[in-house]
Amino acid sequence: VPTYHWEDFALGDVADYGPRVVTREEIVAFAAEFDPQPMHLDEDAARASMLGGLAASGWHTCAILMRMLCDWFVLDSSSMGAPGVDEVKWLRPLRPGDSLSIRRTVLETRASNSRPAMGFVKFHYDLTNQTGATVMTLVTPMMLERRHPGSAVAGGRETAVQA
């Protein structure tokens, strides 16, 4: 039985996780497979780009965040996945050797209208580097099983619960 269910996240909750170091080898390997723009692959090309030096693909930053979330709480939760992402902002380059930390804030929590066993939690993630500067922010809803399915159902009709 996982530790975290839908009921374990409340509006406004803030929690922190990290750090996790990102290497040059990882940055170049991801870029070679998924985003082979020269600014993510080659130091000289990157220096001449807006990034001012080698930096990770923004999609790599998203993937690293996902892995950190898995290691932190997702794999020990009743996660049912996510319907998408509301917003991603790539604010600063992610450099080789950077050390990433996450601040997670709960923006919204509500029961599913159609599935009594499920709830949604909308998270805001702030990913910072070793200087405390924000590299990326991301807002995404997560679907989780409820510890007490259907407790919001009244008179045979489910009522949405907004925390």
State which of residues 52, 83, 97, 150 lies at the interface with its own copies (CB under 8 A): 83
Residue closest to 63 by CA, chosen among 39, 40, 31, 91: 31
Q: Which is nearer to its own copies, 24 or 67 (CB)?
A: 67
Q: What angle do CA 128, 134, 138 make, to 5 degrees?
A: 90
| Piece of 5-13, 61-69, 121-129, 151-159 that binds its own copies (CB under 8 A) | 61-69
Decide: is 106 part of the binding site for its own copies (CB under 8 A). Answer: no
Minimum CB distance to its own copies, residue 66 (Å) = 5
Structure-token match 């209208």, residue found: 113
Phi-psi region of 50 (alpha: psi -120 to 50; beta: other; left: phi over 0): alpha
- Peptide bond before residue 19 is cis, with ω within 30 degrees of 0: yes
Q: Which is nearer to its own copies, 107 or 143 (CB)?
A: 143
Decide: is 114 part of the binding site for its own copies (CB under 8 A). Answer: no
CA 60/CA 121 separation, integer angstroms: 24
Decide: is 44 part of the binding site for its own copies (CB under 8 A). Answer: no
Which residue ranges make up the site for its own copies (CB under 8 A)?
30, 33-37, 39, 49-51, 57-59, 62-64, 66-67, 70, 74-75, 79-90, 143
